């Protein structure tokens, strides 16, 4: 992937002497700077982007752990170094959503308690950021590398279907 000029470098585990605790603290510092600092309020489509604190673990936000770990069962999620390395990409991707390197589309996820509108921002078909519409704000749902061929194919089909569906507010 040719990275856009506005995309920061990845944050490597080895940059912190391969010490997990130091690495987590550095990643959490990035998370706090990018999403918790009120003087740098992040917005998308005119609404603030927020994260979830509860249920917190080890005095760190739920959203933080979700952004750096993988797994279907919350209590059994494990660190994903590729997610960790790219935590500093999330804010710039949202801020640069109009960049040609990012495909942006909307989908509606059917849930037990009604439909949930989500917006997907896919950087160079490599890294996906998902925002959930909460009417007065956007919730940062997740972000991750899209490396599996089947997942990429599904996202491409979904994006193409969205584009072909007619006039849309997102590109």
- 34-87 confidence digits (pLDDT tens): 999 888 899 999 999 999 887 778 888 889 998 999 887 766 778 899 999 999
Average pLDDT, the chain: 89
So what's the pLDDT on residue 52?
85
Please tell me the pTM assigned to this model: 0.90
Task: Count Cα neighbours of 128 within 13 Å in the Cβ-side half-sphere.
Answer: 20
Rounded average pLDDT over 113-117: 70
């Amino acid at each position: 992937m040719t990275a856009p000029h506005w995309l920061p470098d990845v944050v490597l585990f080895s940059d912190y002497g391969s010490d997990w605790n130091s690495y987590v603290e550095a990643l959490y510092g990035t998370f706090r700077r990018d999403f918790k600092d009120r003087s740098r309020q992040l917005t998308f489509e005119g609404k603030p982007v927020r994260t979830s604190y509860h249920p917190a673990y080890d005095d760190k936000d739920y959203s933080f752990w979700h952004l750096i770990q993988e797994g279907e069962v919350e209590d059994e999620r494990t660190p994903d170094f590729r997610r960790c390395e790219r935590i500093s990409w999330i804010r710039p991707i949202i801020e640069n959503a109009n960049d040609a390197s990012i495909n942006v589309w909307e989908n509606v996820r059917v849930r037990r308690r009604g439909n949930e509108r989500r917006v997907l921002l896919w950087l160079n078909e490599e890294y996906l950021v998902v925002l959930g519409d909460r009417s007065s704000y956007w919730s940062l749902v997740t972000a991750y590398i899209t490396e599996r061929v089947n997942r990429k194919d599904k996202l491409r089909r979904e994006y193409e279907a969205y584009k072909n569906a007619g006039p849309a507010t997102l590109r």
